[in-house]
Amino acid sequence: MRREQYTILFTTNPGIEDIAADEIKARLRASIEEVRENHGRVIAKVREEYLDLIEELRSIYRARIVLKRGGICAEMTCLRDLAQIVNDSGVHEYLSPDSSFAIRVNRAGSHEFNSMDIARVAGDAVIEAAVRYRGFRPRVDLDYPSIIVSVDVIESDVIVSLELSGDLSWHRRGYRIYDHPAALKPTLAYAMLILSGISDKDSLLDPMCGGGTIVIEAAYMLENSRLYCLDKNPRHISGAKLNAMAALVQNRISFFVGDATKLSRYIREVDVIVSNPPYGIRLGSPRQVKRVYSEFIREAVSITNKSIVLITPDYDFVKKSLLDNGWRISHERVVAHGNLYPHILVAKP
């Protein structure tokens, strides 16, 4: 079944759905149908000729072709309606006698049934549709399926979709050769760069760059900017260089071992700082955390021309330090990062 236009469900980091929607709209010439804030979901209509570009998006985890949407109630007997929705989805068109499939379930809300019940009913409905409409019985293969059928049951909403990105989420970019123990998700690095308002030719510094995620994402976005990656730990700088080599951008970035609380010793000025300082607990005592943060911020404002963007769970203290140094907060938002909800702060002189 060939169609001109596909409805695609994109998943992203909760808290940056608007940034993902802007990227999807701009890069894929898509029309946005729905942005589910704080749920990490964007639904858009994408024309067939743009589907190949989905892999290049920097702000999304996964993409799925939506086959069918519907609604069900919460009781066990309502699973009959789920079976009907899967049966009507046209999923059989994507199967062949040699192919296999697996069901992946995302469930949220209170229902009498659980995810295993959904998977069982949806799996049977896929087989039944293939037997009825195509005359063969497809194989189930949970490890290496030819296609992955996703069934989302979020409260009473049902979405049946096909995974476009296999099982490898796009935020695990291929360049992560060196696995920094507190690495930032590349999707969040991208979002922070967008929020910084950086333009090509502006210089960028990440003064606590770890494995280099922010500067590597910047190298993908910006062609002419000078990019600096500084960390006090030489092991992380060696790792960041390896990651940059894997990303084929090593010639675009200058790497330094140095102390962010003494920034002005290494760099006289930069246009933009984007950074993911260590979360408090890794720096030792609360007093030590406050000292590092305030010395770093005092140095950062003294060398930065345009904006400073930080992701931190210690946002009250960081905001106060920025304000005490005469800067203002132009934007603030909460994002999900692991099990934490740090804030992204954008500060301007």
Ligand X SMILES: C[S@@+](CC[C@H](N)C(=O)[O-])C[C@H]1O[C@@H](n2cnc3c(N)ncnc32)[C@H](O)[C@@H]1O
Minimum CB–partner distance for residue 214 and ligand X (Å): 6
189's enclosing H/E stretch is helix 186-196
Burial class (CB in 10 A: 0-12, 13-18, 19+), 227: buried
242: its two tokens: 């390896």
The residues, any chain, with a CB within 8 Å of residue 262's CB and separated by 6 or more, are 295, 299
Nearer to ligand X, 54 or 240 (CB): 240
- Examine residue 204 and tell whether it contacts ligand X (CB under 6 A): no
Instruction: Give the angle 116-335-301 at the CA atoms, nearest 5°.
Output: 160
The number of residues that bind ligand X (CB under 6 A) is 22
- Examine residue 208 and tell whether it contacts ligand X (CB under 6 A): yes
- Examine residue 211 and tell whether it contacts ligand X (CB under 6 A): yes
Q: Which of 87, 150, 276, 304 binds ligand X (CB under 6 A)?
A: 276
Nearer to ligand X, 108 or 340 (CB): 340
- Examine residue 289 and tell whether it contacts ligand X (CB under 6 A): no
- Examine residue 183 and tell whether it contacts ligand X (CB under 6 A): yes
- Residue numbers 254-273 binding ligand X by CB under 6 A: 259-261
Minimum CB–partner distance for residue 233 and ligand X (Å): 4
- Examine residue 290 and tell whether it contacts ligand X (CB under 6 A): no
- Examine residue 182 and tell whether it contacts ligand X (CB under 6 A): yes
Q: Which residue has the tokens 């960081």?
A: 318
Using DSSP bridges, classify how beta strands 100-108 and 62-71 pair: parallel, antiparallel or unpaired.
Answer: unpaired
Minimum CB–partner distance for residue 211 and ligand X (Å): 3
Q: Give dist(CA 102, CA 339) in Å, integer.
A: 28
Q: Which of 59, 87, 150, 213 binds ligand X (CB under 6 A)?
A: 213
Output the furthest CA–CA distance in the chain (Å, rounded): 73
Looking from the CA of 127 toward its CB, the CA atoms found within 13 Å total: 13
- Tell me the window of 195-203, 204-212, 317-325, 334-342 that interacts with ligand X (CB under 6 A): 204-212
* Residue 259 vs residues 116, 263, 266, 290: alpha-carbon distances, Å: 51, 7, 9, 15
Q: Which of 14, 70, 197, 278 binds ligand X (CB under 6 A)?
A: 278
10's enclosing H/E stretch is strand 5-11
- Examine residue 242 and tell whether it contacts ligand X (CB under 6 A): no
| Partners of 35 in the β-ladder | 42
Instruction: Give the angle 313-314-315 at the CA atoms, nearest 5°.
Output: 90
- Examine residue 70 and tell whether it contacts ligand X (CB under 6 A): no
- Examine residue 280 and tell whether it contacts ligand X (CB under 6 A): no
- Examine residue 11 and tell whether it contacts ligand X (CB under 6 A): no
- Residue numbers 305-334 binding ligand X by CB under 6 A: none
- Examine residue 205 and tell whether it contacts ligand X (CB under 6 A): no
Q: Give dist(CA 11, CA 281) in Å, integer.
A: 30
Nearer to ligand X, 21 or 216 (CB): 216
Minimum CB–partner distance for residue 160 and ligand X (Å): 35
Q: Give dist(CA 311, CA 345) in Å, integer.
A: 6
Minimum CB–partner distance for residue 21 and ligand X (Å): 24
- Residue numbers 80-109 binding ligand X by CB under 6 A: none
Q: Give dist(CA 93, CA 11) in Å, integer.
A: 24
Residues that bind ligand X (CB under 6 A): 180, 182-184, 207-211, 213-214, 231-233, 236, 259-261, 276-278, 292
